[in-house]
Structure 1
């Protein structure tokens, strides 16, 4: 389920210190982007942020909740998005710190994908 309009507006306001925050529906959820990089997802008005090996320790508190996941061919696939603790909704400064760490992880993932993408050979031009 996607983010409600009120929750989406709340997140945009809270995360504004990071940069231009936008949201778009994807995979039945809402992707949260900052300056074009996806730092989180929302489902059922619950905010999940991007986690990687570099920032996992920062999000140790979030480990108590299962990561965002989906079912595929009878298996549960965990995504690299962890649920932020509910207390952060009432602590905007700390929410921004978590979101900043998630944004850094999202940028690392995006950079790694760009490096790993196969380069296309230019098509030969007809003579």
Structure 2
């Protein structure tokens, strides 16, 4: 399972306004990180973007009908968010917050 390059470039374009975002190849997909903490993943040959979900943003994902990625705390990003850079920034910012809160790198 390799993520299509066009999809990856689309996601990178949508997240380009957020400084500190990096991408790493992981298990045929990509992990998306902010300052070293994973907040999103892109999976599969039929690529999907999933954001890290916690108490801060779970209700929004459920209300939007987001599908959970396996047993992990990641939910599929709604289609309308993938088409709107302002919405993407808002949703990504919340996922980044959850990623930092749950990361061992930022725990004290």
TM-score (norm 1): 0.72
Given the alignment of the two structures, is residue 68 of structure 1 paired with residue 69 of structure 2, yes or no?
yes
Corresponding position of 1:98: 91
Task: State the aligned residue count.
Answer: 106
**Structure 2 vs 1, CA of residues 49 and 2 (structure 1 numbering), >3 Å: closer, same or farther?**
farther
Q: 1:3 offset after TM fit, Å?
A: 2.4
Deviations 1:48-89 (A, max 9, x none): 000012221232334x243111xxxxxxxx110000111212
Identify the structure with bigger relative contact order (alpha carbons < 8 Å, sequence gap 6+).
2
Counterpart-to-counterpart distance in 2, 1:79 and 1:94: 23
**Structure 2 vs 1, CA of residues 113 and 21 (structure 1 numbering), >3 Å: closer, same or farther?**
closer
Tell me if the contact between 1:2 and 1:30 (Cα under 8 Å) persists in the aligned partners.
no
**Stretches (4+) displaced over 2 A:** 57-62, 111-115
Superposition CA RMSD, Å: 2.0
Greater percentage in helix = 1
Tell me if the contact between 1:12 and 1:22 (Cα under 8 Å) persists in the aligned partners.
no
Local SS of the residue matching 1:53: coil
TM-score (norm 2): 0.83
Residue segments in structure 1 that go unaligned for 5+ positions in a row = 70-77, 116-127
Given the alignment of the two structures, is residue 89 of structure 1 paired with residue 90 of structure 2, yes or no?
no
Compare CA radii of gyration and give the structure with the larger one: 1
Corresponding position of 2:38: 38
Counterpart-to-counterpart distance in 2, 1:60 and 1:15: 22
